Amino acid sequence: MKLKQRVVLLAILLVIFIFTKVFLIDNLDTSAANREDQRAFHRMMASLHVELDPRLDHTLQSPWEIAAQWVVPREVYPEETPELGAVMHAMTTKKIVKADVGYKGTQLKALLILEGGQKVVFKPKRYARDYVVEGEPYAGYDRHNAEVAAFHLDRILGFRRAPLVVGRFVNLRTEIKPVATEQLLGTFMTVGNNTCFYGKCYYCRETEPACADGDIMEGSVTLWLPDVWPLQKHRHPWGRTYREGKLARWEYDESYCDAVKKTSPYDSGPRLLDIIDTAIFDYLIGNADRHHYESFQDDEGASMLILLDNAKSFGNPALDERSILAPLYQCCIIRVSTWNRLNYLKNGVLKSALKTAMSHDPISPVLSDPHLDALDQRLLSILATVKQCTDQFGPDVVLVEDRMTLSHL
Residue 289 annotated as catalytic: yes
pLDDT at 105: 85
| Catalytic, out of 154, 277, 289, 361 | 289
User: Among candidates 141, 111, 130, 356, which has minimal Cα distance to 221?
Assistant: 111
Residues of the chain with pLDDT under 50: 15-28, 404-409
Q: Which pLDDT value is given to residue 60?
A: 80
Residue 324, pLDDT score: 98
The Cα–Cα gap between 34 and 409 comes to: 23
Where is the binding site, in residues? 107, 123, 142, 222-225, 294, 309
Query: In terms of C-beta distances under 8 Å and separation of at least 24 residues, what long-range contacts does 363-370 make, across chains too?
Result: 363/144, 363/145, 363/148, 363/167, 363/168, 363/169, 363/218, 363/220, 364/167, 365/129, 366/145, 366/148, 366/149, 366/167, 367/129, 367/145, 367/149, 367/314, 368/129, 368/130, 368/317, 370/130, 370/317, 370/318
Residue 48 CA: distances (Å) to CA of 41, 55, 57, 140, 301: 11, 18, 20, 30, 31
Which residues make Cβ contacts (< 8 Å) with residue 154, sequence separation at least 6?
160, 161, 162, 281, 307
User: Given this model, what pLDDT does residue 266 score?
Assistant: 94
How far apart are the two ends of the chain, measured CA to CA in Å? 45
pLDDT score for 18: 44
Q: Which residues are annotated as a binding site for ATP?
A: 107, 123, 222-225, 294, 309
Q: What is the DSSP letter of 77?
A: S
Evaluate whether 189 touches 206 at the Cβ level (below 8 Å): yes
Q: Annotated binding site for Mn(2+): which residue ranges?
A: 142, 309
Helix (H, G, I), strand (E, B) or coil at 311: coil
Tens of pLDDT, residues 317-369: 999 999 999 999 999 999 999 999 999 999 999 999 999 999 999 999 999 99
Tell if the pTM clears 0.75, that is, is over it. Answer: yes
Query: Which residue type is seen at 125?
Result: K
- The confidence score (pLDDT) of residue 404 equals 46
